[in-house]
Structure 1
Amino acid sequence: MSPQEAKILRGREYNAAKPDASENLKKGNKSPSGQNVRPGKPKALTSRELAKKHGVNEKTIRRDAVRAELHDAVQEADPKAAEAIASMPDKDVAEISKVTKEAT
């Protein structure tokens, strides 16, 4: 497996496993930031768990998630563009993601 394929797969795994922040909003909470502290040991972050599993940094997992989201969104319309996204530097992927989110 190429490093680019590994990034996409890690990103997809994180995107599938991460909690949906919008669920907090549906429950009537104003912010998904977790202001209510519950007693007991806090659960480890999904990105932290996956980082340990794959032997990478937690931020790498989150960057991979952005890459996978963009890749999958473009894949059906333009497979060549999706392939380009898979091999772009992280900085470029982050910029495209930022511009895309601002446009919607």
Structure 2
Amino acid sequence: MPMLNERFFGKVDAIIKKFLTTVMLGKQKSQMNQSVCYDINQITEWHHLIEMEADNEEISMGIREQEQDTKQILLRSLVSNLPMKAILEVWNVRATGTYGIWHYVILLNDGTHLCT
């Protein structure tokens, strides 16, 4: 992992070496390395996440405190005005080493994407 910053950020790395102290350079390189470390899972059965009906009373009674349910509600609201055929893939993305912090990424057939 130490060489990730040079592989992906070679030009930036060359510039910041001129201006940052050793300590700050190390911190910056660490952030650059972490920025490319994600765990991803393609969700093949994503239709049920979108098609589930949200009950507003149930939401107000505590679903918002449950991270997974909240993410599903955000996913549904994000794609509510899209035709289902516009969605190519749905992915679950999480920074490596974190738990409970994840997002849905929706790839669309026009080459764009949406994310929660």
TM-score by length of 1: 0.36
Q: Give the alignment's TM-score, normalised by structure 2.
A: 0.33
The structure with the largest helix share of the pair is 1
Greater radius of gyration (CA)? 2
